[in-house]
Amino acid sequence: MLLEVRGLNSHYGRIHALKSVDLSVGEGELVALVGANGAGKTTLLRTLSGVQPATGGTIRFEGVDITGMPAHRRVAEGILQVPEGRQLFGPQSVEDNLRLGAYRRGGDPDADLERMYALFPVLKDKRRQPAGTLSGGQQQMVAIARALMARPRLLLLDEPSMGLAPLLVGEIFNAVQSLKRRGTTIFLVEQNAYAALAIADRGYVLETGEITLHDAGSALLANERVKQAYLGL
């Protein structure tokens, strides 16, 4: 497994936000973790990317224990998080935001830029516009493309569908699916359980910091408990 998490805990003071979480992501897999608001999804991603300390358990990446590794070194290892709420440089152009994503990698990012514009054609039309003037869906595309410019080995997506109209949700998830087809390994956390599980190889359900279900994405979509709690069916 590319990512192997065992017994992971995280706290905010006395709040026990992650309770002995076990999960794994294999090379080339698209794994979704779904859960309600406040379940601990963002905390989990922040703990994986190293901006939030683990208070117990281990995180292994390619078999190496990275539990205590600082965040910037995890980025250098290829673990890239697209944060909740996008966090773009609003006054900078779309293209400058994308180029910043390749900054650490060095070299010539032009070929990668063209790949990003092929993935999200609308960004090519808007490449000279300040990122902050784009719609929410387009800003999400910039945020994902910026992370991809670093050529991640593991892409962590935090609720890419948040705040988007249904049509744009479909567009974002199509792009995520096409990234997976091109071989990118993706760990996606979402409140939008239907959209996430529909494209995932495997899925986990997180409830108040605990993994309560784990199965193939299609099996979770058909699971009665998931249907009732997350799909409104």
- Cβ–Cβ contacts within 10 Å for residue 125, how many? 11
Task: Give 116 or 189: the residue with its C-beta nearer to Mg ion.
Answer: 189
Closest chain position to Mg ion (CB): 42
Q: Smallest distance from the beta carbon of 42 to Mg ion, in angstroms?
A: 3
12 binds ligand ADP (CB under 6 A): yes
- Which distant-in-sequence residues (6+ apart) come within 8 Å of 168 by Cβ? 135, 136, 137, 140
Cross-strand pairs, 93: 130
Q: Which stretch binds Mg ion (CB under 5 A): 6-14, 40-48, 107-115, 171-179?
A: 40-48
Tokens 């979480």: give the residue. 21
Q: Smallest distance from the beta carbon of 211 to ligand ADP, in angstroms?
A: 13
Interatomic CA distance for residues 124 and 211, integer angstroms: 40
Residue span 34-73 as binding mask against ligand ADP, x where in contact by CB under 6 A, dash where not: -x-xxxxxxx------------------------------
Sign, CA dihedral 231-190-198-208, equals negative
Residues that bind Mg ion (CB under 5 A): 41-42, 84
Residues that bind ligand ADP (CB under 6 A): 12, 15, 17, 35, 37-43
